[in-house]
Structure 1
Amino acid sequence: MTAFDAALKVILKHEGGWVNNPRDPGGETCLGVTKRTWQQWTGRIDVNMKALTPAKVAPLYKAWYWDKVGGDDLPAPIALCAFDFGVNAGPGRAVKLLQLIVGAERDGQMGRKTLQATQQYVQAHGIAKLVRAYQNARRDYYKALDTFDTFGRGWLRRVDAVETEALRLIK
């Protein structure tokens, strides 16, 4: 199983199946993919969100989230955290958060300088400290959102669960 496959399994466990919560700005969603995102991915307006499967959404998750956060180039524990945050809040925001923590330029693009800064941070402080710092920053991000009262408890449970899983990946 690749690092992406393992991370996607964690993501899909948290995303669940089809939902259409009127208070969710994402609207109709299945397996964590909003209708708008699926329409963009497929190039079709008429989509049946209830028909999505993990196999159907995996290529989207790989191209639009995993690859954009540099999942294959990051240590697996922080790749999982960044991937999860990218899915929930956008890959650019996920990368900017990592850049803030490791002291790289905050441009939202995963590149050589961000990877080097991440490697230096890990060498100096350890991967566990990076995972904890990243997940704590995620908690702060969610707490500042207007929709925290509605969705906050679920977001924080997810952050906690992903942090636990990421720390388990440390060898």
Structure 2
Amino acid sequence: MTASREQESLARVLAHEGGYSNHPDDPGGATMKGVTQRVYDAYRKSKGLALRSVKSITSQELFEIYDRQYWDAVKGDQLPAGIDYVVFDGAVNSGPKQSIMWLQRALGPLYQGRVDGVIGLGTIAAVQACNNHDALIDRICDQRLAFLQHLKGWKTFGRGWSSRVAEVRSIGQAWATGAMPQMANFVDGGQAKAFVEDATTAPSTAPADAAAGGGVAGIGLSGTLAELQSQLSPFSYTSEWIGKVVAVLALVSAILAIGGLAYGRYARRKAARLAIATGTAG
């Protein structure tokens, strides 16, 4: 750990992560101080070491994982004070790619590249061109919170995630403005991993399309029956009966068509918001 802010940032990340956890609804599974069993297994394999429980992770292993897989992955040493910590904490909780995407989107027109979760020269240049780091941190945290609200785990972990993001925002902005940042506090649930794979499913437009199509077809059929009614008008009883059928069919068809179109619009808008929030928009 070479940079002073890296050490201070890590201290706050570890406070948010707590100790060992293995909540059945946490997609990270068994986790110790923010390091999942899967990440620890990969680290041990890369060292040619036997696999073991993440509960046994040493301080040196912990520091190496955080340094290489999170701080270096987001190029923390090249980011301004406060922004480095905010992006680092997001990387630990949701993966470096997702956290970098929040940064890229938060940069707005300053960043002209693709929102791809890869922090290259273009992203660094855009950050350096930003003259209001306090506001940038606000936008990054807003992006993160919107992402979290679209995850299946929000009902279970939403309170903890919200508290964590609020503290990350406050700590990051303190650093950005030259103030002394507070220490982080552990809130149960805030340590749960928040991965894009856990995103809610977009509503299907198939029922809406079927309803709208059926309604349009029904309206067409009611027109055909209306024409038949006019041809049978000399036969008053039959004509009256067909008239009632036409009225009912037209009403039901109109409800189906309007309802189907309305729900289809709602479903497509919700799917679009989900794609934007989770970074899966094409």
TM-score (norm 1): 0.93
User: Could you tell me whether the CA contact under 8 Å between 1:65 and 1:91 is conserved in 2?
Assistant: yes
Letter in 1 for 2:167: A
**Are positions 1:153 and 2:162 aligned together?**
no
* Structure 1 residue 50: Cα displacement: 1.8
Task: State the Cα deviation string for residues 50-90 of structure 1 (Å, max 9, x = none).
Answer: 22244431111111111111100001201111001111111
- In structure 1, distance between residues paired with 2:119 and 2:51: 33
Where does residue 7 of structure 1 map in the other structure?
9
1:76 match: secondary structure: coil
Equivalent residues of 2:82, 2:172 under 8 A apart: yes
Distance in 1 (alpha carbons) for counterparts of 2:125 and 2:83 = 14
Identify which range, 80-89 or 44-53, moves more after superposition: 44-53
Residue deviations 1:109-149, cap 9 Å, x none? 111110111111x22xx110001111111111101111100
Q: What CA distance in whole angstroms lies between the structure 1 residues aligned with 2:58 and 2:174?
A: 27
The aligned residue for residue 142 of structure 1 is 148
1:31 equivalent in structure 2? 33
Identical aligned residues as a percent: 34
Q: Secondary structure at the match of 1:145?
A: coil
Aligned Cα RMSD in Å?
Answer: 1.4
Residue 31 of structure 1 contacts residue 53 of structure 1 at CA under 8 Å; is this kept in 2?
A: no
Q: Are residues 1:116 and 2:125 paired?
A: yes
Count of aligned pairs = 168
C-alpha distance in 2 between matches for 1:161 and 1:54: 25
Aligned to 1:99: 104
By how many angstroms is 1:25 displaced? 1.3
In structure 2, what is the equivalent of residue 41 of structure 1?
A: 43
Equivalent residue, structure 1, for 2:64: 59
1:18 maps to which residue? 20
Read off the aligned partner of 2:17 and give its amino acid letter. E
Match of 2:80 among 75, 82, 107: 75
